[in-house]
């Protein structure tokens, strides 16, 4: 993404290393907190001054989208993608790994790498057994492809004067407006707007087994 | 996106620039090392050029795979 912007604006975005946000891999240095794909996109949009609705739209999309799509594989199959960088234009071997076809998909239901990747693994046991641990990197590399494509599309929409709802899962707002997490009955007010139900599976009024 | 899309300063930056992300000017231009980094990247809105989403996505995957200059992968 930064590479695209740098090509257009070398005197500003060209000063930022393309790999600046690689630390987000594995949910920041592999600890499983926010997914690097989700975080990197917000970092770019924040620097660009994008409205909150677009940033929210991006994060909400991440939460509810089946990931990874097969777009990277289909792009490879199109024959129009000549790998760049140090690949020497080569697919496979020492070049760019060929995306696997029809990898399993899962909804992250969260912006956390921990939930996103674990949910995917829960539906990918057979896939991993067949394709080995490299299938994890295949999944995450295609996640990056999907995230950057979505990010660029959103930015183009914003710059063209378009609008988005930026709506998160309504369960979050309902929870925060409730007596339970609205800070009106002694409970701590729930912070943030990330999807709650992946971790808090019980009804409002229960104690979530914490 | 091919490497030809990179500015010279990006090549100069490399991996060291990632480690020194909070002080980007230090690794890109010695003359500005003592300057106070800007809070936000300057962005030229009036001459906005739509992004090529597919090209950006391709490059994102390549970078994740460690296939760009300065990456150890």
pLDDT of the residue at A160: 92
B57 contacts A145 by C-beta, under 8 angstroms:
yes
- Chain B residues in contact with A6 (beta carbon < 8 A): 5-7, 10
Give the integer Cα–Cα distance in Å for B28 and A84.
23
- If you write DSSP's letter for every residue of A112-166 in order, what string do you get? BHHHHHHHHHHT-HHHHHHH-THHHHHHHHHHHHHHHHHHHHHHHHHHTT-----
* pTM above threshold 0.95: no
Which B-chain residues 54-73 have CB contacts (< 8 A) with chain A? 54-65, 67-71
ipTM: 0.89
pLDDT of the residue at A136: 96
Q: Are A19 and B58 within 8 A, CB to CB?
A: no
Nearest to A87 by CA among B2, B16, B54: B2
CA quadruple A115, A117, A118, A121: dihedral sign? positive
Closest Cβ opposite residue B57 in set A6, A14, A148: A148
pLDDT of the residue at A36: 93
pLDDT of the residue at A188: 67
Q: What is the mean pLDDT of residues A84-112?
A: 95
Q: Are A19 and B60 within 8 A, CB to CB?
A: no
Q: Which two tokens stand for residue A166?
A: 């930026």
Q: What is the mean pLDDT of residues A38-48?
A: 93
Return the number of other C-beta atoms located less than 10 Å from residue B23's C-beta: 12
Q: Which two tokens stand for residue A76?
A: 């490879």
Confidence band, pLDDT 50/70/90 cuts, at residue A208: low
Q: Are A85 and B17 within 8 A, CB to CB?
A: no
Question: A82 pLDDT exceeds 70?
Answer: yes
Question: A200 pLDDT exceeds 80?
Answer: no
Q: What separation in angstroms does the CA of A150 have from each of A87, A153, B12, B69?
A: 25, 5, 30, 25
Interface test with B, best of A84, A99, A155 (most B CBs within 10 A): A84
- Least confident piece of the model among A25-34, A154-163, B21-30: B21-30
Task: Give strand pairing partners of A125.
Answer: none
Q: Are A85 and B3 within 8 A, CB to CB?
A: yes
Closest Cβ opposite residue B56 in set A97, A137, A152: A152
pLDDT of the residue at B18: 32
Q: What is the mean pLDDT of each run of 10 residues along chain B (73 residues)?
A: 40 34 42 66 70 95 87 45
Of A54 and A4, more confident: A54
pLDDT of the residue at A15: 82
Q: Within 13 Å and on the Cβ side, how many CA atoms surround A177? A: 5
Share of chain A above pLDDT 70, in %: 90
Give phi and psi for A96, each to the nearest 5: -80, 125
Question: A123 pLDDT exceeds 90?
Answer: yes
Q: Are B63 and A86 within 8 A, CB to CB?
A: no
Confidence band, pLDDT 50/70/90 cuts, at residue A87: very high
Q: What separation in angstroms does the CA of A4 have from each of A146, B3, B51, B55?
A: 15, 11, 7, 8
Question: A204 pLDDT exceeds 70?
Answer: no
Interface test with A, best of B16, B65, B68 (most A CBs within 10 A): B65
The residue with tokens 């290393």 is A17
Q: What is the mean pLDDT of residues A3-23?
A: 82
Name the residue of chain A whose CA is nearest to B39's CA. Answer: A47
């Amino acid at each position: 993404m930064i590479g695209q912007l740098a090509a257009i604006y070398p005197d500003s975005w060209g000063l930022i290393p393309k790999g600046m946000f690689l630390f987000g891999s594995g949910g920041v240095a592999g600890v499983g907190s926010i997914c690097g794909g989700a975080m990197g996109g917000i970092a770019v949009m924040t620097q660009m001054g994008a409205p909150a609705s677009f940033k929210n739209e991006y994060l909400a999309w991440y939460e509810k989208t089946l990931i990874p799509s097969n777009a990277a594989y289909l792009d490879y199959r199109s024959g129009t993608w000549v790998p760049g960088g140090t690949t020497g234009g080569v697919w496979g071997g020492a070049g760019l790994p060929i995306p696997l076809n029809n990898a399993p998909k899962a909804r992250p239901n969260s912006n956390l790498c921990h939930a996103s990747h674990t949910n995917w693994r829960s539906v990918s046991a057979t896939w991993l057994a067949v394709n080995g641990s490299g299938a994890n990197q295949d999944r995450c590399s295609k996640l990056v492809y999907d995230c950057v494509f979505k990010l660029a599309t959103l930015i183009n929409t914003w710059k063209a004067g378009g609008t988005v709802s930026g709506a998160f899962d309504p369960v979050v707002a309902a929870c925060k407006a409730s007596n339970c997490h609205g800070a009106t009955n002694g409970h701590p007010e729930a912070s943030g707007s990330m999807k709650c139900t992946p971790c808090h599976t019980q009804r409002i009024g229960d104690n979530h087994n914490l | 996106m091919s490497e030809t899309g990179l500015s010279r300063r990006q090549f100069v930056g490399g991996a060291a620039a990632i480690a020194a992300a909070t002080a980007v000017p230090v690794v890109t231009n010695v003359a500005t090392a003592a300057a106070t980094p800007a809070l936000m990247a300057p962005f030229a809105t009036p001459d906005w050029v739509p992004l090529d989403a597919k090209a950006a996505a391709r490059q994102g995957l390549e970078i994740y795979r460690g296939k760009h200059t300065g990456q150890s992968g």
